[in-house]
Copies of this chain bind each other. A is one copy, B any other.
Amino acid sequence: MSDPNRFQIMPAPQKSTRIQQKNRAAILEAALDVFSAQGFRGTTIDQIAAAANLSKPNLLYYFPSKEAIHATLLAGLLDTWLAPLRTMNPKGDPLEEILGYVRRKLQMSRDYPRESRLFAHEVVQGAPRIYHALSTDLKSLVDEKTTLIETWIKQEKLAPVHPYHLLFSIWSLTQHYADFDVQIRAVMDAEDPFTNAPDFIDTLYRRLLTPT
């Protein structure tokens, strides 16, 4: 345990390590499914175990507790979630950089709706497990990028807007398609929401941000 890499030079345990990794991955995949749909308290270990094709005690052989599974999922999430913002390039064309960020963020909602809902559950409940990361990692990244946006606005390469609220609007617009998916589909019956969403959102930010 203190040195996970030691397995890599020992043939026999290597096989069991592969099984371990496979089972751990199956548990996390199943847990993401159930946690994102029902929240932490709404999820039972039995449900996760069933979805992962394991017995409950066997699942608890890989993770010490339900809390630990949830924490593992959340820990990996924030980095993935912030990647699209991190790649916004100070040297690129301002409008295209923002539109590119919006496009990547919407694509994440489409590709990873469960991760989006897991995050939504956590934040709506007051972010009890992730607040610290929000007020440090997220905050410092946002401070950096809003400063950049303010620079672009001063250079008149973007129309003037409040940079923080610009970012909030991007988060809310893109994540809404994952988090409120059921509501959207209840209203749109046949049509796939993602067919027209990219164009709509692209148009929205072009009209908002194109300098006059």
Contact surface of A with B, Cβ cutoff 8 Å: 37-42, 117, 120-121, 123-127, 131, 134-135, 138-139, 142, 159, 161-162, 164-166, 168-169, 171-173, 175-177, 179-180, 182-184, 186-189, 193, 196-197, 199-201, 203-204, 207-208
Are A168 and B176 touching (Cβ within 8 A)?
yes
User: What is the copy number of this chain in the assembly?
Assistant: 2
Selected A-B contacts with CB under 8 Å, 26 pairs: A37-B125, A38-B41, A39-B41, A39-B42, A40-B42, A42-B42, A120-B120, A120-B179, A123-B182, A123-B183, A124-B180, A126-B182, A127-B186, A135-B187, A138-B183, A138-B186, A142-B187, A164-B188, A164-B196, A165-B201, A169-B201, A171-B176, A172-B176, A173-B173, A203-B208, A204-B208
Are A186 and B39 touching (Cβ within 8 A)?
no
Q: A124-B124, A203-B208 are contacts. A165–B39 as well, Cβ < 8 Å?
A: no
Of B42, B134, B176, B203, which is within 8 A of A187 by CB? B134
Q: A124-B117, A207-B208 are contacts. A131–B182 as well, Cβ < 8 Å?
A: yes
Are A184 and B169 touching (Cβ within 8 A)?
no
A37: chain B residues within 8 A (beta carbon): 125-126
Of B125, B175, B186, which is within 8 A of A134 by CB? B186
